[in-house]
Amino acid sequence: MGMTAVPATADQPPLAPSISRQLFLDSGYVLLGLPLAVASFVVLVVGLSVGIGLVVTVIGLPILSGTLYVARGLADIERLRLPAVLRQSRIRPQYRLPEPGASAWRRIFVPMGDAQSWLDLAHGLLKVIVAVITFVVTLLWWAGAVTGTLYWVYDWALPRGPEDSDLAQLLGLGDSTIARIGLHTAIGLFFLITLPIVARGCALLQASFGRALLTGVAEMRNRITVLEEQKRAAVSAEASALRRLERDIHDGPQQRLVRLAMDLSRARQQLATDPEAAGRTLDEAVTQTRETLAELRALSRGIAPPVLVDRGLPSALAALAGRGLIPIELRVDPELASPAGRLDPAVENTAYFVVAEALTNVAKHSRATECLVTVTRHDQLLEVCIGDDGQGGAHLAKGHGLVGIADRVRAVGGRLSVVSPVGGPTEIRAELPL
């Protein structure tokens, strides 16, 4: 039995924090963004100006290259801040690297030929515009919320001349203290209630600008890479399944059909001279026919078992466990047994294939005495776990059809992990996105 872990393609995004914590995260992100934007703007403008001004000389190119490296470092700082606002895992682009043994001048030109380095530079120069707008709006809302809701505390300390008019008077609410405090408190409550929304919007505006320039291209490239891997895995799994089906048909039903044709031909020849021998030959032909039908049914169950299509994954796994050569304990999430809990056909087929192939390898290679199959659903993830008490030592490189399991899992965007120390036990865990 051999399996290995297939690494995950992406990390799980951070959990959503509470409203109050998200408010302080968003506000801190926006308010800290302005000094960082100003510092980035000053440093990059100076470096870019000096580099372009001296580009006609030898000195200008290293300065320009160094400015791009500084822009990359400032961009990394921003990438560290993005997950708190966007609730996603950190993504860093793959920058171009100098070739081993490259000369100093070739190393200088490496960042200049990297598109992401120029995007980092553009972000450092243009972020100050977005940062100023979001900073002013966020600070204004915080000031309105704090000064308005606490107006009753310092109202008595505000100087008022005989000819001064308060906002309450201008609105025709009178000049009483209650009217004045009530109006300012109401304004403060408005700012306080809308503060989380405004702070969130400003943070998303600033973070989205950063994401578009700093990680947008990287996300697109990563997504293309994942899709290409899934396509290759699907093609490989389909090719392996076709080869296995062709081999099984050739070694089983095809040989039996050849023998059936020979038996029928022999029975026809024996019919005139030895009817009893012809009858025995026909009996053998009938037996061959039944065995051929049984093998064809077994092959059809491996491709798309009718019970899986008609009654769902739990019933199909129960039938699969019932045909096992060793005792198999099956634990399936009850939610999957209900009509409303039916999964997407592609996910059901993949889960069934994983269990079927794993149990086949357990029976052939593990020398196990018992096996446990667990299928559970966690939000948008289906977890399939097959464990046995066999000899262990499982690894994907050893083959035994386990390459097909990994390909099938990757083809639907899932991941496969295996824990199989020498001496056992072995646990195969497949996580399939719903």
CATH number at residue 368: 3.30.565.10
Are residues 279 and 317 located together in one domain of the fold?
no
Domain assignment present for 41: yes
Work out the average pLDDT over 351-375.
82
Q: 430 pairs with which residues across the strands? A: 384, 416
Please say which residue of 243, 274, 303 terminates a domain: 303
Measured CA to CA, the distance from residue 276 to residue 21 in angstroms comes to 91
State whether 151 and 36 are in the same domain: yes
pTM value is: 0.55
Does residue 244 fall inside a structural domain?
no
H/E run at residue 332:
strand 328-332
CA distance 6 to 410: 8
Tens digits of residue pLDDT in 4-45? 333 333 444 555 567 888 889 999 999 999 999 999 999 999
User: Would the pLDDT of 237 be above 60?
Assistant: no
197 belongs to a structural domain: yes
**355 near 373, Cβ under 8 Å?**
yes
Comparing C-alpha atoms, which of 216, 227, 225, 230 is closest to residue 93?
216
Whether the CB-CB separation of 61 and 73 falls below 8 Å is answered with no
Among positive and negative, which fits the CA dihedral 354, 356, 362, 364?
negative
Averaged pLDDT of the chain: 77
Range of the domain at 97: 19-214
Q: Are 360 and 400 in contact (CB under 8 A)?
A: no
Say if residue 264 is in the same domain as residue 147. Answer: no
- Model confidence at 401, pLDDT cuts 50, 70, 90, reads low
Closest CA relative to residue 314, chosen from 332, 297, 339, 289: 332
Q: Which helix (H) or strand (E) holds 324?
A: none
Residue 379 lies in a domain: yes
The Cα 23–Cα 393 span in angstroms is 50
Kindly state whether residues 48 and 156 are assigned to the same domain. Answer: yes
| Residues listed for the chain | 434
Classify residue 120: in a domain, yes or no. yes
The total domain count for the chain is 3
At CA 145, angle to CA 139 and CA 150, rounded to 5? 130
> For residues 178 and 168, what is the distance between their CA atoms, to the nearest angstrom?
10
State whether 297 and 203 are in the same domain: no
Give the DSSP letter string of 279-316: HHHHHHHHHHHHHHHHHHHHHHHHH--HHHHHH-HHHH
Cβ atoms within 10 A of the Cβ of 420, count?
A: 24
pLDDT-derived band at 1 (thresholds 50, 70, 90) equals very low
What confidence tens digit (pLDDT) does each residue in 285-296 have?
777 777 777 666
Which residues, in sequence order, are CB contacts of 106 under 8 Å at separation 6+?
98, 99
Residue showing tokens 């025709």: 172
The answer to whether residues 320 and 353 belong to one domain is yes
Q: Are residues 298 and 321 in the same domain?
A: no
Chain mean position to CA 424: 30
Asked whether residue 163 falls in the same domain as residue 132, the answer is: yes
Report the distance separating Cα 111 and Cα 63, nearest Å.
12
**Quick check: 360 and 404 in contact, CB under 8 A?**
no
The per-residue pLDDT for range 138-171, each reduced to its tens digit, is 999 999 888 888 877 776 676 665 665 565 555 6
SS3 378: strand
Residue the block writes with tokens 């190119």: 61
The answer to whether residue 231 is domain-embedded is no
Residue 159: the pLDDT is 61
Q: Which pLDDT score, from 0 to 100, does residue 11 have?
A: 43
269 or 80, which is more confident:
80
